[in-house]
């Protein structure tokens, strides 16, 4: 409203037939109109409300950084600092030769990097990460949203405790004013043993009451100041984040993929695992057994490293199909990195053999390392044993250099990701090309070196591997290969592609037993069975095993699991 219009409204301009706004303006202005001083009072009122408006704005500048709404400032910065796409899922390197390092990994909140700490304040608590987390979805303690929020609250409390000792820094919080594990008090209620999900999660299709209730049980609420634990005395691992939460993660990265502000959850979990394993020497017994076997024999089962190539000799004797080593074929075109699963696991050996048949059909000059092959180290690294990973990595790189390897093909997405994105940090030549077997088979098909001629009468529910789809964006390639097979039907799951649910084997979970909630692989198989397939297809030895075990658990003898190589070899070779 302009000043002149206000005066006109005060003088009754518009009359009984005037606008409604004129009457409202008159009601506001009349108390300020005192004869000739009306203009003065309007001027004073204008100045008063202008300064009041400015005071409110400045008040928000003080309030916002200390509230959950701080993400209005931090989220855009966090997105700008997000890692480039080619570094997705890549774990940072630790200098294990640093003589000044007192510990490895993260055992205190201040040991996180600045970008990791910025993540904590960028979180909007939308719940998307928890909604897609396979651990949360199956009733485990881990909830990515609560993980971030608890770390944020701990950082705020510890920061306030530290700055309160400095007379030049104003205290942001009085002792005990920030309830430990304050996370999401709005909408989180627990009355008479009944638990209600936060409103932010109620709109999602899956319920996570079990996980949310477990989080609720571990929050400390309404603690008197005299009983409130000192922020300095609270352990990051154990008090703020439990070991159960850390070891429930499958490192599938679905939480990060769904996060609207670019938060990274997995690297924080792995950093804390590193502290447990490298500094404190703590980890689940079954996981520790697997890593000890990898260290001693190069495989999680502890089978002799001299038996790594035993399967090939037996197969050649049965079928006459040769599997040359790099010594027997020094002029090889591509190195087939078989991996521990493909060498020792009897079920996955069928995948290796199917892939070799396809290589022979395409006349590919391939070779394997045989007993010289070592574990890629992926399992050790995701479980926090960086020392063992770097040992395996160094040995493999030396072997690659020894035989002049320029192309590597592997059927394991975990090995593929580790070789392609993480080995270069440790000296692997950038000219070495790494392919997943779906990529290599796709190239052979495009070049006309393999043809799909025999019909395969199967309805395949395609399960996307996390390390293939989310980590490396390989989604369409396997589907195009399968759709080229005569009579084969590809069925899409409700959660597929970049949003596919994890099989439950990643992050070392393949070698550890699930002790709470529903088994992740069973939950995923239930989703696959909804589309009524005859086969649950995948392109990962871990996924293959987990899907097969899930089908057995559901007692569905009419459904089986198969790798893409096993399906393609039927069409190419007719077997």
Structure tokens at 74: 């931090």
Q: How many whole angstroms separate alpha carbon 74 and alpha carbon 78?
A: 6
User: Residue 498's closest CA among 478, 475, 526?
Assistant: 475
Q: What is 255-288 written as a DSSP string?
A: HHHH-TT----HHHHHHHHHIIIIIS----HHHH
Enter the tokens of residue 345. Answer: 């696991």
Residue holding tokens 């300095």?
232
* pLDDT value, residue 164: 58
Residue 130 is inside which H or E element, if any? helix 128-132
Q: If you search the block for the tokens 């950084």, which residue do you land on? A: 65
Q: What is the model's pLDDT at position 219?
A: 47
Which pLDDT does position 217 carry in this prediction? 55
Beta strands in 415-549 (DSSP E): 433-436, 458-462, 488-492, 535-538
**Which is nearest to 259 in space by CA: 128, 143, 81?**
128
Q: What is the pLDDT of residue 209?
A: 55
Q: Are residues 346 and 471 in contact, defined by beta-carbon separation less than 8 angstroms?
A: no
- Distance, in Å, from the CA atom of 437 to the CA atom of 335, rounded to the nearest integer, reads 11
pLDDT value for 174: 42
Which residue has tokens 């040769």? 322
What domains appear along the chain, each with residue ranges and CATH number? 3-65 (no CATH), 96-279 (no CATH), 298-446 (3.40.50.1860), 458-573 (3.40.50)
Structure confidence at residue 181 (pLDDT) = 42
Q: What DSSP assignment string belongs to 413-451?
A: HHHHHIIIIIGGGGT--TT-EEEEHHHHHHHHHHTTSS-
CB 545 within 8 A of CB 525: no
**Are the C-beta atoms of 533 and 286 separated by less than 8 Å?**
no
Number of residues in the chain: 575
Kindly write down the DSSP assignment for every residue of 354-377, as one continuous string.
Answer: HHHHHHHHTT--EEB-GGG----S
302: left (phi over 0), alpha (psi -120 to 50) or beta: left
Does the model's pTM come out above 0.85? no
Measure the CA–CA gap between 299 and 342, rounded to whole angstroms: 11
- Cα separation, 10 vs 430, in Å, equals 80
Residue 367: exposed, middle, or buried by beta-carbon count in 10 A (0-12, 13-18, 19+)? Answer: buried
Q: What is the pLDDT of residue 168?
A: 53
The predicted pLDDT at position 290 comes to 96
- Sort strands 189-191 and 194-196 into parallel, antiparallel or unpaired: antiparallel
pLDDT per residue as tens, the chain (575 positions):
444 544 454 454 444 455 554 555 555 556 555 555 667 777 888 888 889 999 998 888 888 887 778 888 899 999 999 998 888 899 999 999 888 888 999 999 999 999 999 999 999 999 999 999 999 999 999 999 999 999 998 898 887 766 555 555 455 444 444 444 443 333 333 333 333 444 434 333 344 555 555 555 554 444 445 555 565 668 899 989 999 999 999 999 999 999 999 999 999 999 999 999 999 999 999 999 999 999 999 999 999 999 999 999 999 999 999 999 999 999 999 999 999 999 999 999 999 999 999 999 999 999 999 999 999 999 999 999 999 999 999 999 999 999 999 999 999 999 999 999 999 999 999 999 999 999 999 999 999 999 999 999 999 999 999 999 999 999 999 999 999 999 999 999 999 999 999 999 999 999 999 888 899 999 999 999 999 999 999 999 999 999 999 999 999 999 999 999 999 999 999 88
- Alpha-carbon span 381 to 393, nearest angstrom: 10
**Residue 409 phi/psi, 5° resolution?**
-120, 135
């Amino acid at each position: 409203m302009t000043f002149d219009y206000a005066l006109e409204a005060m003088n009754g301009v518009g009359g009984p037939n005037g606008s409604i706004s004129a009457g409202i303006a008159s009601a506001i202005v009349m108390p300020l109109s005192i004869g000739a001083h009306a203009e003065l009072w309007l001027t004073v009122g204008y100045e008063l409300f202008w300064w009041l408006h400015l005071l409110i704005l400045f008040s928000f500048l003080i309030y916002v950084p200390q509230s959950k709404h701080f993400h209005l400032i931090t989220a855009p910065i966090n997105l700008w600092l997000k890692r480039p796409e080619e570094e997705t899922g890549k774990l940072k390197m630790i200098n294990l030769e640093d003589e000044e390092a007192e510990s490895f990994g993260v055992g205190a909140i201040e040991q996180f990097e600045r970008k990791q700490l910025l993540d904590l304040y960028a979180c909007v608590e939308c719940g998307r990460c928890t909604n897609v987390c396979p651990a949360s979805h199956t009733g485990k303690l881990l909830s990515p949203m609560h993980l971030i929020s608890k770390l944020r609250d701990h950082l705020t409390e510890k920061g306030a405790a530290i700055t309160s000792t400095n007379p030049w820094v104003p205290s942001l919080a009085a002792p005990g004013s920030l309830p430990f594990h304050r996370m999401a008090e709005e909408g989180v209620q627990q009355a008479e043993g009944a638990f209600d999900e936060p409103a932010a999660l109620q709109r999602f299709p899956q319920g996570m009451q079990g996980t949310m209730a477990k989080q609720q049980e571990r929050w400390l609420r309404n603690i008197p100041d005299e009983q409130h634990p000192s922020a300095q005395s609270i352990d990051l691992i154990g008090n703020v984040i439990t070991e159960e939460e850390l070891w429930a993660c499958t490192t599938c990265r679905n939480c990060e993929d769904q996060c609207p502000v670019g938060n990274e959850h997995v690297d924080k979990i792995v950093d804390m695992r590193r502290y447990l394993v490298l500094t404190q020497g703590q980890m689940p017994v079954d996981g520790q057994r697997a890593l000890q076997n990898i260290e001693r024999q190069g495989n999680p089962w502890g089978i002799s490293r001299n038996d790594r190539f035993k399967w090939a000799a037996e197969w050649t004797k049965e079928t006459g199909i040769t599997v040359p080593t790099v010594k027997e074929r020094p002029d090889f075109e591509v190195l087939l990195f078989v991996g521990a699963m493909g060498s020792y696991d009897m079920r996955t050996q069928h995948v290796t053999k199917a892939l070799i048949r396809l290589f022979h059909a395409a006349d590919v000059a391939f070779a394997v390392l045989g007993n010289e092959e070592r574990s890629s180290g992926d399992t050790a690294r995701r479980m926090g044993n960086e020392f063992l990973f770097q040992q395996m990595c160094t040995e493999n790189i030396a072997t690659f250099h020894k035989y002049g390897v320029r192309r590597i093909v592997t059927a394991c997405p975990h090995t593929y990701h580790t070789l392609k994105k993480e080995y270069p940090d440790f000296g692997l030549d950038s000219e070495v090309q790494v392919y997943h077997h779906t990529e290599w088979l796709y190239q052979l098909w495009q070049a006309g070196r393999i043809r799909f001629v025999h019909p395969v009468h199967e309805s395949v529910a395609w399960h996307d591997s996390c390390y293939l789809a989310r980590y490396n964006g390989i989604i369409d390639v396997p589907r195009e290969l399968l759709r080229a097979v005569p009579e084969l039907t590809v069925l899409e799951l409700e959660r597929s592609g970049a949003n596919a649910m994890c099989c439950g084997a990643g992050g070392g979970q393949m070698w550890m037993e699930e002790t709470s909630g529903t088994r992740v692989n069973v939950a995923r198989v239930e989703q696959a069975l909804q589309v009524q397939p005859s086969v649950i297809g995948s392109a990962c030895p871990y996924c293959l095993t987990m899907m097969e075990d899930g089908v057995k658990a559901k007692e569905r003898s009419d459904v089986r699991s198969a790798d893409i190589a096993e399906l393609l070899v039927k069409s190419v070779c007719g077997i």
